[in-house]
Amino acid sequence: VTDWARLTIDAEELQNHIDRLGEVGALEAGGLFRGLYDRNWQRAIDLVEGWMAEAGLVARRDAVGNLFGRSEGTASSRCVASGSHIDTVRSGGRYDGALGVLAALSAVKALLRACGPPKKSLEVLVTCEEEGSRFRSNFWGSRAIIGKVLPSEARALFDSDGVGLGDAMREVGLDPARIPQAARGDIDAFIELHIEQGRVLEAGGHAIGVVDTITGMHQARVEVTGRQDHAGTTPMDLRRDAMAGAAEMVQRIAELATEMGRPAVATVGTMSVRPGAVNIVPGEVVFTVDARHPVPEQHVRLAEQVRRTIEEVARRRGLGLQVQPILDHQPVPMDATVMAAIEAGALAEGLDYLVMASGAGHDSQILAERIPAGMIFVPSRDGRSHSPAEHTPIEQIVPGVRVLARALHRLAY
Ligand SMILES: [Zn+2]
C-alpha cells in the first residue's frame, strides 16, 4: 500500500527545467528550434542527461541518439517507459515534446522518493526526433526503437543545407550502420504526457485528456488544370478557370468535414497558382489536402468524400485533375491496459478528465505498433501550439504529472 500523500511533485524544479530547456535553441525572432543532431539538439540532450544523473538514473544513448534514464527494477528484466521528443519545429514553443520528457523525469523522481525502487525498471525516454523539421525524417527516434528505420534512410535524406543525415549522425558520434541496434524488445508499456495542442480541454474545463486513439491522417496533392487565357477578352462562360474550380473544391472540402462533425477535420494548407498574374485566367492550381478522423470507417469515408467531391467539381467545370496521395495513416488505438492505468490515476486524483482522440501525430502512435502505449494530455492555453505562444501553467501541469506517476506506479511497482 502506497501512502499517496507522500507523493510530491517538485513543481518548482519542474518549472525550472521547463524554463532552462526552453532556452536551448531560442531564436532571436522568438520561439525556438532544435533540429535533429544540430548544436542546440546536442545541448538539450546533454542538459537532460545531466538531470537524469542528478536524479540517480543511469543514462544511456542508443544508436540513433535516443536518450534513456533508467532506474533498475528489483524483480524483472522488463521495463516501463515514459517520455517524449526533444526536437522542435522551427519557431516552436517550450512545451511540445519537452514537457513529456520533463514530466516523466519529475514523475519518476517522485516515485523513487515516495515508493523506492520499482519492480520493473522505469525509464525516462527522450526520443531524438519526432517532428521531421530538419530532415523530413518524422518519428526517426520512435521508429528506430521499434526497428522501423532502414540504414538506407540515412543516405537518402538531406537537410536544407545539403547535409546528409548520415553525416549529421557521424558528427555527433553515431554510426548509421548501427541503426538496427536501437530496436528494443523489453518495454512492456509506454506513457507519453503531452500538451493537447488544441483547445478542447480548456474549453470544456477538463484537467486531463486520456487519449484513446491517435487520429488517422490522409494527405494528398491535388493538381487542377484549366486553360490559361486573357483575363479581359475571355467571356466567363467560355473559361476553364483552374482557380475558380480549386476555390470551389476548397470550400466543399471544408464543408464536408464540418457536416461530418467533430472530430473530423479537413484542411487545405498550401496552394500555388500558375502563371499567377493579375490579368491572366489561371491555367493551373496545385493544392494540398489534409483530412483526419480517429474512427477508422469515418476516416476512410472522409477521404473518399474529399476525393469524390474534387472529381465532381473538376468534371462539371471541364478541368483536368490529378490527385496524388502523400500519406495515409490509419487511426492508432491506445492500449486498453495503459489507458486504464491512466484513468485510474485521474480518478484517484479526483480530476475531471476527458477521454479523447489526439488530432496530432505523436511518438506513441509509432511505438504502439510494438509496445502497449497510452497518452496523457494537459491543457494548452488558448489551444496554441507549434508557436512561441505555446503555454501551460505549472498548476495545470502538476496534476498531469501526478496522474502519470500513479499510472507508472500501477504498471511498474
Ligand atoms: Zn510533440
Q: What mean pLDDT do residues 2-23 have?
A: 92
Q: What mean pLDDT do residues 46-50 have?
A: 98
Per-residue pLDDT, 135: 94
CA of 158 to the centre of ligand 1 (A): 22
Residue percentage of the chain with pLDDT more than 70: 100
Three-class secondary structure of residue 216 per DSSP: strand
Instruction: Summarize pLDDT for 346-362 with one digit per residue, the tens.
Output: 999 999 999 999 999 99
Higher pLDDT, 136 or 107: 107
Does the pLDDT value for residue 35 go beyond 80? Answer: yes
Q: What mean pLDDT do residues 195-203 have?
A: 97
Q: Compute the distance between CA of residue 302 and CA of residue 281 in angstroms, rounded to an integer.
A: 31
Q: Compute the distance between CA of residue 102 and CA of residue 86 in angstroms, rounded to an integer.
A: 10
CA of 391 to the centre of ligand 1 (A): 13
Q: What mean pLDDT do residues 315-343 have?
A: 97
Per-residue pLDDT, 13: 98
Per-residue pLDDT, 151: 81
| pLDDT-wise least confident of 18-27, 50-59, 147-156, 272-281 | 147-156
Q: Compute the distance between CA of residue 377 and CA of residue 351 in angstroms, rounded to an integer.
A: 13
The secondary structure element, H or E, covering residue 257 is helix 242-260
Per-residue pLDDT, 2: 67
CA of 194 to the centre of ligand 1 (A): 7
CA of 163 to the centre of ligand 1 (A): 24
Backbone φ and ψ for 179, nearest 5 degrees, come out as -50, -45
CA of 97 to the centre of ligand 1 (A): 4
Per-residue pLDDT, 3: 73
pLDDT tier at 150, thresholds 50, 70, 90: confident
CA of 298 to the centre of ligand 1 (A): 25
Per-residue pLDDT, 223: 98
CA of 330 to the centre of ligand 1 (A): 19
CA of 172 to the centre of ligand 1 (A): 23
Does the pLDDT value for residue 410 go beyond 70? Answer: yes
pLDDT tier at 173, thresholds 50, 70, 90: very high
Q: Compute the distance between CA of residue 152 and CA of residue 179 in angstroms, rounded to an integer.
A: 10
Average pLDDT for the chain: 96
Q: Compute the distance between CA of residue 28 and CA of residue 25 in angstroms, rounded to an integer.
A: 10
Q: What mean pLDDT do residues 260-267 have?
A: 96
CA of 96 to the centre of ligand 1 (A): 5
Does the pLDDT value for residue 1 go beyond 70? Answer: no
Instruction: Summarize pLDDT for 351-405 with one digit per residue, the tens.
Output: 999 999 999 999 999 999 999 999 999 999 999 999 999 999 999 999 999 999 9
Does the pLDDT value for residue 6 go beyond 90? Answer: no
